[in-house]
Structure 1
């Protein structure tokens, strides 16, 4: 099904002749205030200081207000045709560097897991180091640390939930690409349906991950405090789940915008940026699936 965008949305098809410089904005100051409350709230919360959770909640509320307002202004500027090709290029470079920073972020956690498993644990089990540091320490992975340090736990295998989640994310990569092709071909119905399916697959993934965490804590005794394995497992899967949550929110916004007639085959970087981010999330999960659940 092909739907022609409303006449009012056609203005952005013509690129502005000059590089658009926005007027001074309140949003950076609002974002700084949000981060102030978030940082102090998080510090107080982890140290069991009374107002910590309230400060943290207030910070996130201000942050949500800032994101809603600031991105709303950017969308209005884009749809009114104020952005030139240079601005579009700036957005692309910015998103590219943002994803690169995310690659480095996850590389640090994957590196910690590999370094610990391949180098640190075998080194600590060496006869000389074992005699000097931790007598009786074994290099088995996952390690329980020195005797009595970590409670016994079971690991999470690749079947069935992690494998199902892998299929869900791979399928979501296909549906978002299908939606992109629909946009390029002017098929608005395909665009909306593809986005809706991608959001649904991402939400189901998060539901399975929540169930997996509950199973790990209640039945496997696998917790964040379960030594280095528990720490790396929950940090990697938890941060990935957080990124999936952000991706689902971004895709939901793209769905709403598509239903309002936003985007044209030649002007749709917001959609492209979201698709880039989602494909990045898919790739991270594949690495996580192999290194954490299989090996």
Structure 2
């Protein structure tokens, strides 16, 4: 690497931004096709997932090389990366606010059913024929799982700051394991639900809101698990120190964000809206 007379990092041209955009597009098209039980959709879904994971692997590899071998992550660059992560999480907050607004509209201000081109009555909430999940069964278990995972990731961060790498790796592994438990419980909940995305009429108002908001949250949990798994791999290789652990810091922020979103999900979607 050529020497430079400043602390900033001028990023070299990279194919990964456009590559991840194309991979996400294929993934989205595949997901839609899979929901309609199309063979081509299933193929695109598998291809999209593989492409996203592949691009993330090589993109993260380049960033890690810049940090460890090229020493590009100076103090100024770290401040810039932290600000970028703040903006990213803010965009994620807005993303979920949109879904919550849709849910609140359907719950608190339901649409009218029309008869002979005139409004007859408002749609009930939950709609007739929909039996929402019991908030104090599987959703409550998932709440405890995520609360516990928030504790273990904080413990891992504290251990890293104390230079206790063994404890950090142990707590980080437990956090990842709890994330997998969450996904399993969520899958069981979906399997046991008495409704699906293929509902019609007023039932679809509930199911579309429910699956969109909980499904995207589950997707974020999966992304968080991948993020934490990268951190675990790097921790085992001794790439984190009490002073240099920006990747893990970002992963812990993201995981806490996922925790907070679930608290609102449990409070409004699972609990208050069904009573």
TM-score by length of 2: 0.87
Give the conservation status (yes or no) of the 8 Å contact 1:27–1:66: yes
Matches of residues 169-208 of structure 1 in structure 2 within 5 Å?
Answer: 169-208=146-185
> Which stretch of the first structure deviates more once superposed, 52-61 or 246-255?
52-61
Structure 1 residue 223 corresponds to structure 2 residue 196: yes
SS of match in other structure, 1:153: coil
Offset of 1:181 from its aligned partner?
Answer: 0.4
RMSD of the alignment, in Å?
2.3
1:289 to 260, 266, 270: 266
CA distance in 1, matches of 2:259, 2:31: 29
Q: Structure 1 residues 294, 131: closer, same or farther in 2, change over 3 A? A: farther
Q: Structure 1 residues 20, 165: closer, same or farther in 2, change over 3 A? A: same
Which residue matches 2:55?
A: 66
Structure 1 residue 119 corresponds to structure 2 residue 109: yes
1:142 to 126, 130, 133: 126
2:237 to 212, 237, 260: 260
The total of aligned residue pairs comes to 263
CA distance in 1, matches of 2:123, 2:50: 46
Which residue matches 1:11?
A: none
Offset of 1:99 from its aligned partner?
Answer: 0.6
Structure 1 residue 78 corresponds to structure 2 residue 83: no
Matches of residues 226-237 of structure 1 in structure 2 within 5 Å?
Answer: 226-237=203-214
Offset of 1:141 from its aligned partner?
Answer: 1.4
Higher relative contact order (CA 8 A, sep 6+): 1
Please list the CA deviations of residues 189-234 of structure 1 after superposition, one character each: whole Å capped at 9, or x if unmatched.
Answer: 1110110111111111111111111000xxxx22122321111111
The runs of 5 or more residues in structure 1 that have no matched partner are 1-15, 145-151
CA distance in 1, matches of 2:9, 2:242: 22
SS of match in other structure, 1:140: coil
Give the conservation status (yes or no) of the 8 Å contact 1:170–1:282: yes
CA distance in 2, matches of 1:200, 1:45: 28
SS of match in other structure, 1:120: coil
2:118 to 129, 133, 148: 133
Offset of 1:34 from its aligned partner?
Answer: 2.4
Q: Structure 1 residues 155, 92: closer, same or farther in 2, change over 3 A? A: same
CA distance in 2, matches of 1:47, 1:292: 26
> Which stretch of the first structure deviates more once superposed, 181-190 or 38-47?
38-47
Give the conservation status (yes or no) of the 8 Å contact 1:17–1:84: no
Which residue matches 1:240?
A: 217
SS of match in other structure, 2:196: coil
The runs of 5 or more residues in structure 2 that have no matched partner are none
Please list the CA deviations of residues 37-70 of structure 1 after superposition, one character each: whole Å capped at 9, or x if unmatched.
Answer: 3455456656777634333432332222111001
SS of match in other structure, 2:110: helix
Offset of 1:29 from its aligned partner?
Answer: 4.1
Offset of 1:292 from its aligned partner?
Answer: 1.1
CA distance in 1, matches of 2:238, 2:38: 48
Structure 1 residue 163 corresponds to structure 2 residue 140: yes
SS of match in other structure, 1:82: coil
CA distance in 1, matches of 2:163, 2:56: 29
Please list the CA deviations of residues 215-269 of structure 1 after superposition, one character each: whole Å capped at 9, or x if unmatched.
Answer: 00xxxx2212232111111111111111111111111111111111011111111
TM-score by length of 1: 0.81
